[in-house]
């Protein structure tokens, strides 16, 4: 892989366009700034005819659709995470990624195992490799740009059928806690149980959620079953990031072209 990538650099450089394009920020709170940058970027790429006059929503939508169609991604006229990432993907950025990828190859063990799983988080595919040959491939879903799948090497130690899911502290803090503050019934709706330090189940309606802001003194556990976020099977391997390979209860997402959708774990279609 290292040699193939290195060999392809010359062809890439011969065809590369190193013009600087306007970087489009996430919409966030500055919607006006986002629209101005978006229009300028679309103008620079030839998808809209002007940038001196403010475009209306319909004009921006049509220009975004042209961009999406040319890039071969879902044509809906909306600037979601995938479209935003493509808008900001320049040849200069690709060149930097090539350099980083070459460096990652150098950090691999001198001799790879006879059989191993290779997760390509960038392409959202997984390969099972045996004796230097790809024996099996599967679509996967990896982390969102804000919750990227980490780069690591480890050994799969346990396979767990019908696993329970214990959301990591980051998800509890950013997603579950705000939801239960609005409605404690959120936990039951999502199939979660609330357990104290002794493992006893706690009624979420008896908890004063308003006093928690940086975490909670309980474990949140989603029971096993086909509706569980981890699906039917979990591949466990030691790592400091609390990530693993697993099935999913959102299998329809494997139909997406852009599959950077998880909190960091790797969902496997053909587990």
Cβ–Cβ < 8 Å for 116, 129: yes
27: which 2 tokens? 């919409």
Task: For the beta carbon of residue 247, count every other beta carbon within 10 angstroms.
Answer: 22
DSSP-derived letter for residue 25 is: P
pTM of the model: 0.70
Q: Is the model's pLDDT at 228 over the cut of 90?
A: no
Is residue 248 within 8 Å of 230, Cβ to Cβ? yes
Beta-carbon contacts of residue 197 (< 8 Å; ≥ 6 apart): 217
Give the Cα separation of 100 and 5 in Å (integer).
Answer: 11
SS3 136: strand
Q: What is the mean pLDDT of residues 15-24?
A: 92
Residue 246 annotated to the active site: yes
Look at residue 257 and tell me whether its pLDDT is greater than 90: no
Annotated active-site residue in 142, 236, 263, 265: 265
pLDDT tens digit string along 80-121?
A: 888 998 999 999 989 999 999 999 888 888 888 999 999 999
**How confident is the model at residue 133, as a pLDDT?**
95
pLDDT of residue 58: 94
Give the rounded percent of residues in the chain with a pLDDT score beyond 70. 100
3-state SS, residue 130: strand
pLDDT classification of 143: cutoffs 50, 70, 90? very high
Catalytic: 142? Answer: no
Q: Which helix or strand (DSSP H or E) is residue 105 part of? A: helix 91-106
Tokens of 141: 């879903």
pLDDT tens per residue, range 20-40: 899 999 888 889 999 999 999
- Would you state the structure tokens that stand for residue 123, as one six-digit string? 């392409």
Which of 142, 236, 246, 263 does the annotation list as catalytic?
246
């Amino acid at each position: 892989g290292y040699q193939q990538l290195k060999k392809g650099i010359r062809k890439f450089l011969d065809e590369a366009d190193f013009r600087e394009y306007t970087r489009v920020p996430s919409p966030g709170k500055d919607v006006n700034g986002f629209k101005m940058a978006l229009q300028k970027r679309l103008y620079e790429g030839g998808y809209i005819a002007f940038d001196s006059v403010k475009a209306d929503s319909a004009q921006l939508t049509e220009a975004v659709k042209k961009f999406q169609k040319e890039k071969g991604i879902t044509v809906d006229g909306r600037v979601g995470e995938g479209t935003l990432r493509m808008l900001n993907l320049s040849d200069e950025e690709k060149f930097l990624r090539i350099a980083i990828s070459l460096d990652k190859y150098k950090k691999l063990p001198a001799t790879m195992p006879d059989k191993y799983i290779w997760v390509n988080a960038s392409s959202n595919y997984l390969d099972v490799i045996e004796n230097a040959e790809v024996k099996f491939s599967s679509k996967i879903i990896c982390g969102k740009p804000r919750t990227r799948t980490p780069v690591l090497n480890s050994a799969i130690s346990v396979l767990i059928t019908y696993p329970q899911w214990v959301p990591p502290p980051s998800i509890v803090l950013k997603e579950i806690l705000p939801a239960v503050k609005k409605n404690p019934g959120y936990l039951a709706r999502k199939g979660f149980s609330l357990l104290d330090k002794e493992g006893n189940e706690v009624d979420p309606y008896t908890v004063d959620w308003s006093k928690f802001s940086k975490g909670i003194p309980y474990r949140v556990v989603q029971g096993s079953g086909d509706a569980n976020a981890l699906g039917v099977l979990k591949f466990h391997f030691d790592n400091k990031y609390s990530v693993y390979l697993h099935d999913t209860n959102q299998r329809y997402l494997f139909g997406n072209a852009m599959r950077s959708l998880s909190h960091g774990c790797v969902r496997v279609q053909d587990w």
